[in-house]
Amino acid sequence: MKKLLLPKKCWLPLALVAVLAVGCGLKIATVEFSTHEPMQETELTVKTTFVDANPSDNSQNPQGDYYLMYAIRVPNDWAATELTAKVLENDHPENVLEMIDCEPYAKYCQYCFPLDGYKWIAFQSKDKAHQGHNDEATIKLTVGTKLGDYRLDVMAGGWQYDPSELLNADGNINLANAFGQNLNREEGKPNTDNGMAPTYFKSSEYLYNASTISQEEYQARIEAMKADKSGVMTLYGLTLPVAPDIANVTNDQNMKVTVKENPNTGIEGVDAEAANAPAEYFDLQGRKVAKPEAGLYLVKRGNKVTKELLK
């Protein structure tokens, strides 16, 4: 289990709000890639900046305690090596928050937004923490060997329960916990808003606070999950569709990368193979020499040919 360091107390892409999904919590302001054309087996960094979705009303972004989560969707042969983050506001101390791998959140993201050839990599805060209003997270990725065009996507959120509760004992998604409309988990006692009519919140609105998922994929997935017979459940006396809800979707960022060929990939392996291959000797006219004596020869080892002087 990786341990990653993040600033404490008013963190970043994560943590949501006890209001309607629109205009709440944090949203993605910018996503910066160290390059949009990485080479095979090199390092790529992705920095995501988050801001308050409703800065004019701080009540829309309370500093409650949540397990903070971050996920990124990458090609199957990629890996993540490091996640760091910092608070950009001057009045917050630069304390660190320990982050660890979060398989439940990765499985949850995969359940809601699967894509052939891709996987989700996710992290959570080890302990609950406060969200921030102006933060950034930087993740270091190791690019795979497959060439071509890809799209990376970011998910961030926060949850008041332990992320392990996203899964059942069998490792499958716990639909009631992940999509329940009553975050207090009390039968007949839904969340209320200042004594007005009951307001029901889906857990998924919290789990998905900010995202770069395309609108096309987002809407298609919602319709597909609603149409699926297994995508409906009865909870708290309500019949609920099991579909993802993202509070703030950002679609104006360039999330595409093109993996280019790395001219250095595999050279060490080729050289090692050639060095261990048996030598074949040829004169300078290309005729094979069974028993070379002193002189200048072309020497072939594996697929590599060199010119060597024997003494």
pLDDT tens string 73-108: 999 999 998 888 766 655 555 556 678 899 999 999
Indicate the pTM of the whole model: 0.74
Q: What is the mean pLDDT of residues 131-151?
A: 87
Return the top range by mean pLDDT from 52-56, 196-200, 269-273: 52-56
CA distances from 227 to 117, 231, 233, 242, 243 (A): 24, 7, 12, 10, 10
Return the top range by mean pLDDT from 30-34, 181-185, 228-232: 30-34
Q: Supply the Cα-derived Rg of the chain in whole angstroms.
A: 26
Of 34-38, 94-98, 159-163, give the lowest mean pLDDT range.
94-98
Residue 186 confidence (pLDDT): 60
pLDDT tens string 8-19: 333 333 332 222
Q: What is the mean pLDDT of residues 170-182?
A: 82
Q: Is 215 helix (H, G, I), strand (E, B) or coil?
A: helix
Q: Which residues contact 72 (CB under 8 A, 6 or more apart)?
A: 46, 80, 120, 121, 122, 139, 141, 152, 153, 154, 155
pLDDT at 224 over 90: no
Q: Tokens 């996640």 correspond to what residue?
A: 83
Q: Which residues contact 125 (CB under 8 A, 6 or more apart)?
A: 6, 11, 14, 67, 68, 69, 97, 98, 99
Residue 307 confidence (pLDDT): 78
Residue 57 confidence (pLDDT): 56
Structure tokens at 11: 């963190």
